[in-house]
Amino acid sequence: MSETRYSEDHEWISLDGDVGTVGVSNYAQEQLGDVVFVDLPAVGARFAKGDEAAVVESVKAASEIYAPAGGEVTAVNEALADDPSKVNEAAEGEGWFFRLRLEDAAELEGLMDASAYAAYVDGLD
């Protein structure tokens, strides 16, 4: 699997072939607080880069999750329906949101690698 890339909106995507797994960063889940609900897209839904693809609700707020690249949803993390706290427990692992078959992997080039994202987050505090 390739390296994980991050958006300024705190989504991450990790590419395996032409399918990317998408979730929110650990920083994002810390800012949200306890996640209580996740509204996932339907398998087969298509998004352009930057489209709202999902919603995560916490005890503090509701936040949109944006598609970090354009493509078609191939899978969703059904486990989040029963246990949305997985986002807090493992935001960049078991707490993933959906998988997206990318239309153009070049769209990921504008995203940050882990070190650039860490520097970006440090600048927010």
Structural domain harbouring 41: 4-122
Residue bearing tokens 């690249």: 69
Residue bearing tokens 């440090």: 122
The total number of structural domains that make up the chain: 1
pLDDT number for residue 1: 43
pLDDT number for residue 3: 83
pLDDT reading at 10 higher than 50? yes
Rounded average pLDDT over 71-76: 98
pLDDT reading at 37 higher than 80? yes
Q: Residue 40 sits in a domain of what CATH number?
A: 2.40.50.100
Number of alpha carbons in the 13 Å side-chain half-sphere of residue 8: 5
Parallel, antiparallel, or unpaired: how do β-strands 4-6 and 19-24 relate? unpaired
Predicted TM-score of the model (pTM): 0.94
- In this structure, the dihedral spanned by the alpha carbons of residues 74, 58, 6 and 102, taken in order and rounded to 10 degrees, is 10
Element (H, E) at 99: strand 98-102
